[in-house]
Amino acid sequence: MIARRLVLASLALAILLESSVAARPAAGAFMRGMALGQYSDTPPDLRRKLQELRRLNVSHVSIVVSWSTRDIRSPRIAPDPQVATPDRALRAMITQTHEQGFKVFLFPIVDVQQRKLQEWRGAIKPPNWDDWWRDYRKFILHYAQLAAETKTEMLCVGSELVSTERMRDRWQNLIQRVRRAYGGQVVYSANWDHYEPPAFWDLVDVVGLTAYYQIAKAKNAPESEMVASWRAVRQKLAAWSRKVKRPFAFTEVGYPSLEGCAVTPWDYTMNAKASPDEQARAYRAFVQAWNGAPELAGVFFWDWYGDGGVKDKLYTPRGKPAEGVIRNWFSGIAARKPALPKPAKPPSPRTH
């Protein structure tokens, strides 16, 4: 009788935990990600960058591709040769990334060419939504087909499209079409301050959001202030994760190497001194706040682009103290999981 009561109590506790806590990602599933900014690298340059990411123990590489629209009122979306990566180059890039043992997250975004203050892709408002969605479906389905052909593991069907996020029927139609063409994981990436309104979280495989939160009130803030800010954010996101009954992934986390980067991490254009140390403190604060969080399924840091170095003011952690923060964290996670597969051997040259 006592044993039976213990079994029943254990079952009740399990049910209670399942109903109150968002599902923990499967063992070994944490995405140790990095966005790879690549638009003109030669194959040897790309190979070198991928080798650097292997040394960081990155498991997933995010590749951003863009089609463009003139402004937020235009219904037209099309590839701009000055912005869009050619399909042939993209296929080669995905192939090379797979050969180095990484999983690929293909991340199509809408590039708004002419913007006034407060105008960005989250504020798109065309005069005719039917026309806009027609072009947008063409855009996403193009990359769904390419992702299927290249065996890409993850595909983002939208990023930060705030003004569309309550249009469940439109998104359902698009996602159904994507799934007919593509069998990998489907992702949507919400903006960091607009993750609750999307009406279609149940339709995607990975709940994504960017993470450009203000974590300091002034430049050169101490790491302790940044950690406290992140922990407050984590508390809110954990409650939301329980509400939607899904873990989530940060599709973009990054800080430009500037004084004040923790105050406005979304602004890489501000006139400020280079500060790789402040960037590193922001990275350390993120790791302290989120390490081991059961609601977090993965993170993609933004981004591995350019030469980097301590004088560089852009987002890349390459050649900066933040690189070591990432390496230490990802190495600790990877040590608890199987190692990355070895790069595939290139085929032997044909002789005839």
Query: For residues 187 and 204, what is the distance between their CA atoms, to the nearest angstrom?
Result: 6
Query: Cis omega before residue 303 (within 30°)?
Result: yes
Q: Give me the pLDDT at residue 113, please.
A: 92
Contacts of 161 (CB under 8 A, 6+ apart): 110, 121, 122, 124
- CA-wise closest residue to 299 among 24, 39, 59: 59
Q: State the amino acid at position 237 in one-letter form.
A: L
Q: Give me the pLDDT at residue 295, please.
A: 94
- Which DSSP category does 166 fall into? T
Going residue by residue through the chain (352 aa), what tens digit of pLDDT does each one get? 444 443 334 333 333 333 333 333 333 479 999 999 866 678 889 999 999 999 999 999 999 999 999 999 999 999 999 889 999 999 999 999 999 999 999 999 999 999 888 888 989 999 999 999 999 999 999 999 999 999 999 999 999 999 999 999 999 999 999 999 999 999 999 999 899 999 999 999 999 999 999 999 999 999 999 999 999 999 999 999 999 988 899 999 999 999 999 999 999 989 999 999 999 999 999 999 999 999 999 999 999 998 999 999 999 999 999 999 999 999 999 887 554 545 554 444 433 3
User: pTM value?
Assistant: 0.86
CA of 309: how far to CAs of 89, 226, 276, 301, in Å? 27, 23, 9, 17
- Which DSSP category does 313 fall into? -
Give burial (CB, 10 Å; 0-12/13-18/19+) of 240: middle
Q: Give me the pLDDT at residue 25, please.
A: 35
Which domains can be identified in the chain, with CATH numbers?
28-334 (3.20.20.80)
Query: For residues 120 and 98, what is the distance between their CA atoms, to the nearest angstrom?
Result: 33
Rg (CA), the chain: 21
Q: Give me the pLDDT at residue 160, please.
A: 95
Taking residue 244's Cβ as centre, other Cβ atoms within 10 Å add up to 15
